[in-house]
Amino acid sequence: MTVLDANATQPIEGGPSFSLANRLQRAAWGVTWALFAAWTPPPFHAWRGFVLRLFGARVAGTARVYGSARIWFPPNLTIEEHACLGPRVSCYNQAMVVIGARATVSQGAYLCAGSHDISDPNFQLVVKPIQIGSFAWVAADAFVGPGVTMGEGAVLGARAVAFRDLDPWTVYVGNPACEIKKRIMR
């Protein structure tokens, strides 16, 4: 668990959780994505990967990122070979988010690497990395919370909510996500 700028900021009073340099970099990123990537046709994955790499993301050449996906901070993103960040995905990557090879994050899913310390009177931001294993699937409109590791081949069903690690090759559904069966590949 990482608390950001605990001595310098008071978010409860409107203070920033991130440095001015970080905020300026994110502003430049937002403008660049809007002008050069968000509107591009779906097949332009290589171009969008290039734009992400310009801002510090580690995106494999075969990865697919859709223009309607929203990435908060590219340097905190790794997308491996043949992985997919689908349409309208929100990647709120205040901490590292790693998407393994051949993993899919489907439309409307939300990857959230940050929360707040509700015991702190200043309501400090707390960030934890998210790891999505190879061959895993985050289905439509699912939510993956801070610090979650989805094991290789794990499935988080549509609209499910994961706040705990998901075992490899296991299918989870519901809120909170509960195991329903093992995933067997043919």
Q: What is the C-alpha separation between 3 and 21, in angstroms, rounded?
A: 18
Distance CA 12, CA 37 (A): 34
**The predicted structure's pLDDT at residue 2:** 57
Would you state the pLDDT for residue 4?
A: 56
Determine the Cα–Cα distance for residues 138 and 132; give it in Å rounded to an integer: 9
Residue ranges with strand state E in 12-164: 58-59, 64-65, 70-71, 77-79, 84-85, 90-92, 97-99, 104-105, 110-112, 114-116, 125-127, 130-132, 137-138, 143-144, 149-150, 155-156, 161-162
Answer positive or negative: Cα dihedral of 19, 30, 89, 142.
positive
pLDDT tens for the chain, 186 residues: list them. 555 554 456 666 777 888 899 999 999 999 999 999 999 999 999 999 999 999 999 999 999 999 999 999 999 999 999 999 999 999 999 999 999 999 999 999 999 999 999 999 888 899 999 999 999 999 999 999 999 999 999 999 999 999 999 999 999 999 999 999 999 988
- Burial (CB < 10 A; 0-12, 13-18, 19+), residue 76, is buried
pLDDT given at position 13: 72
Q: Supply the pLDDT for residue 6.
A: 47
Q: What is the pLDDT of residue 1?
A: 53
